[in-house]
Homo-oligomer: A and B are copies of this chain.
Amino acid sequence: MAVKYNTDFLGDVISKDEWKAMAPFTKEAFRMVKKGSGAGNDFLGWVSLPDDYDKEEFARIEAAAERIKGSCDIFVVLGIGGSYLGARAAIEFVKSPLYNNLKKDTPDVYFAGNNISPTALTELLSICEGKDICVNVISKSGTTTETAIAFRVFKKLLTDRYGVEGARSRIFATTDRARGTLKQYADECGFETFVVPDDVGGRFSVLTAVGLLPIAVAGIDIKELMRGASEARAAYSSENLFKNDVLKYAATRNILYRRGKSVEIMVGYEPYMLMLNEWWKQLYGESEGKENKGILPASVVFSTDLHSLGQYIQEGRRDLFETVLSVKNPGASFVIPEDDANVDGLNFLAGKELDEVNKTAMIATLFAHNDGGVPNNLIEISDRSPYSLGYLIYFFELACAVSGYLLGVNPFNQPGVESYKKNMFALLGKPGYEQEGKILRKRMK
């Protein structure tokens, strides 16, 4: 098992009887996912994806990634939300948060089209000066404002620089299979296209072309990523909570929530986990935060944030629990040097692996936070390999669906995301929003 769920640090808060009491419901929730009998059942494509993905398209993704690697210095990925976080999380987790700053034989990868910042766009264009570029635009409809604006800019840049023909071979569109303006336009222009499946929502899409193309361009073995997810699918098939860690984690979250623990803090002990935390926050926050309920997902990277949010977690309001993600094999060795001066008094650490100190800090913190009244889930992942990451992704996706059903919500919709968009279009004068515009402008006095 590449992923192990450890409940030793929950403290004494959950008895075996409580998990037993939840078992019939996790079983039922899991059946809703497997049989498609719950709300949002037209978005269950991710369940079987690790085995049933489109092999022909997968081969095209691998081939496109090879061409991209050979033809550009910078790969610009345009997408927002689920069309952004998964790929970035995977590249940082498997490669590095400093991926773009390290020497390597794969292109730099920059993510844009995920904000409306004039400075961010201006700066990225300056970074692209004198570099060869390929672009991946990711949008199911093609009309997502942030992504579409950035695509206008980069399409023009590529056409100006490489001509229509040249741009054609450098633009890749990940979009709807058949409908949508972007699909139509991409076909007209001759861009290679990849599919955002109809039955996979954005936050569950990292193992589709949405995530796979940028991940492959960064030199990560996407076959291994899928293999990990597939083995996780097989491993997490039992309907018995005591034999299926996915169900146990989902149950634990709901037990803690009902007990007033309304904030879950995802904890990493490596800077390369920061964006994985962000991916997880969208997955859980967007799936469960509705109907005035849901656990608020937050995140930290320790030991860094032990020196910022550590005080709050140790002694603040007791409505928190943590889920700690620990990578067993750090993949790097660093021995703490002896220092004759011993100014810092740390020679008792000399000769130790830095990772041993890091892991000790983790155990120390698990005890400290437990003693402070904060239950801790501990999720142990074998290493930073794409295989293990694929395994973990599937663990979190499946647990999210089960947990959402346990909470009594549709884990696959996101009705609240439209509210700001509607207001924005109205205030920007988008055709069709005239009435809303009038009302809002009145509220602004």
Contact = CB atoms under 8 A, between A and B. Distances in A.
8 contacts: A80-B303, A80-B307, A115-B269, A282-B307, A285-B309, A296-B320, A364-B424, A367-B440
A416 B122 contact: no
Counting chain B CB atoms within 10 Å of each CB, the highest count among A114, A124, A272 belongs to: A114
Given A117-B358, A293-B316, A420 B368 contact: yes
B348 A429 contact: yes
A310 B420 contact: yes
A311 interface: yes
A367 B443 contact: yes
A290 B372 CA distance: 11
Interface stretch (A50-58, A62-70, A232-240, A329-337): A329-337
Contact of A96 (B123, B304, B364, B417): B123
Interface of A: 80-82, 84-85, 96, 98, 100-103, 114-124, 126-127, 142-143, 145-146, 148-149, 151-153, 155-156, 181-182, 184-185, 202-203, 262-263, 269-272, 278, 281-282, 285-286, 288-294, 296-298, 301-304, 306-320, 330-334, 336-337, 339, 341, 343-346, 348-349, 352-355, 357-358, 360-361, 363-365, 367-369, 371-372, 414-417, 419-424, 426-431, 440, 443-444
Contacts of A444: 363
Given A301-B115, A312-B286, A417 B306 contact: yes
B440 A145 contact: no
